[in-house]
C-alpha cells in the first residue's frame, strides 16, 4: 500500500539512489525517530535491510534484520576487509520483483557507528555479508545493476523494464549467473 507521509520506497530511476549519502555527524532524537520509521518501512515491505537513500534520506545510515536476529542500525559504515567469493540471488526493495545472481565477496569486516555513537566492527559472511555490501553500496549511490557483468546487466535492465509495466503482484523474475 502506498504511504502518504513521505516514506515510500524510492525505486530505480529516482536520482536519489544514484548519489552518495552524507556522513552522520549528529546522533540525536531526530535520528532515532528516523531509524524507527526506517524499520517500519523495512518490515512492511518486507525486506531484510533498508538504506537511507531508499526513502530519500541522504545520510549514511541503514537498518537491517537478518535471520530474525532483531533490528540493527549502522551509521557511517565502511568495508574494512573482504575475502572469498559467493553467488547469491540478490534482490532490492528499490528494484522490486527482480532477483539476480551476483558474485561478490563472501566475507566482510565492516566498521561503523551504532546508534549510541560507539564504533562497532562486525565480521560477517554469506547473507549478512551480502546485506552489508548491498546497503553500503546504496550509501555510495551504487545499485545492484552496477555490480552485474555487462551482459547480465543488459538482460536484467530489459527484464526490469518489462516488470515495470506489469502489476505489482506479478511473479518475481530470477536471473541466473551464466
**50 binding Zn ion? (CB under 5 A):** no
The footprint of Zn ion on this chain (CB under 5 A) covers a number of residues equal to 1
Residue appearing with cell numbers 512492511: 44
Smallest distance, Å, CB 28 to Zn ion? 26
- Interface region with Zn ion, contact rule CB under 5 A, candidates 19-27, 57-65, 73-81, 87-95: 87-95
Question: Residue 92 interacts with Zn ion (CB under 5 A)?
Answer: yes
Q: Whole-number minimum distance, CB 70 to Zn ion, in Å?
A: 20
Looking at residues 5 to 44 of the shown chain, list those that interact with Zn ion (rule: CB under 5 A).
Answer: none
Whether 135 is catalytic: yes
| CB neighbourhood size of 99 (10 A) | 18
**Grid coordinates of 110:** 565492516
Nearest residue to Zn ion by CB is 92
Write down the least CB distance from residue 138 to Zn ion, Å.
Answer: 6
Which grid coordinates belong to 14? 529516482
Residue with cell 527482480: 98
Nearest to 76 by CA among 112, 117, 26: 112
Helix (H) or strand (E) run with residue 174 in it: strand 173-175
C-alpha cell recorded at residue 152: 547480465
Closer to Zn ion by Cβ: residue 21 or 92: 92
Catalytically annotated residue among 8, 135, 164, 171: 135
Angle at 119 between CA 135 and CA 17, to 5 degrees: 20
Q: How far is the CB of 26 from Zn ion (least distance, A)?
A: 25
Residue 24 or 92 having the CB closest to Zn ion: 92
Q: How far is CA 117 from the centre of its chain?
A: 22
Q: Which three cell numbers stand for residue 85?
A: 567469493
Q: Which is nearer to Zn ion, 57 or 92 (CB)?
A: 92
Residues carrying an active site annotation: 135
Give residues in contact with Zn ion (CB under 5 A): 92
Amino acid at each position: 500500500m502506498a504511504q502518504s507521509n513521505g516514506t515510500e520506497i524510492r525505486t530505480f530511476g529516482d536520482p536519489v539512489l544514484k548519489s552518495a549519502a552524507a556522513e552522520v555527524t549528529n546522533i540525536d532524537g531526530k535520528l532515532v525517530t528516523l531509524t524507527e520509521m526506517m524499520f517500519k518501512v523495512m518490515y512492511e515491505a518486507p525486506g531484510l535491510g533498508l538504506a537511507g537513500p531508499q526513502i530519500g534520506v541522504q545520510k549514511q545510515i541503514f537498518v537491517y534484520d537478518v535471520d530474525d536476529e532483531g533490528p540493527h542500525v549502522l551509521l557511517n559504515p565502511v568495508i574494512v576487509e573482504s575475502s572469498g567469493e559467493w553467488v547469491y540471488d540478490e534482490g532490492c526493495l528499490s528494484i522490486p520483483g527482480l532477483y539476480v545472481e551476483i558474485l561478490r565477496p563472501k566475507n566482510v569486516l565492516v566498521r561503523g557507528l551504532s546508534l549510541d555513537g560507539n564504533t562497532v566492527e562486525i565480521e560477517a559472511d554469506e547473507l549478512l555479508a551480502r546485506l552489508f555490501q548491498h546497503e553500503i553500496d546504496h550509501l555510495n549511490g551504487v545499485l545492484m545493476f552496477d555490480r552485474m557483468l555487462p551482459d547480465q546487466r543488459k538482460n536484467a535492465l530489459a527484464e526490469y523494464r518489462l516488470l515495470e509495466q506489469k502489476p505489482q503482484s506479478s511473479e518475481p523474475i530470477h536471473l541466473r549467473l551464466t
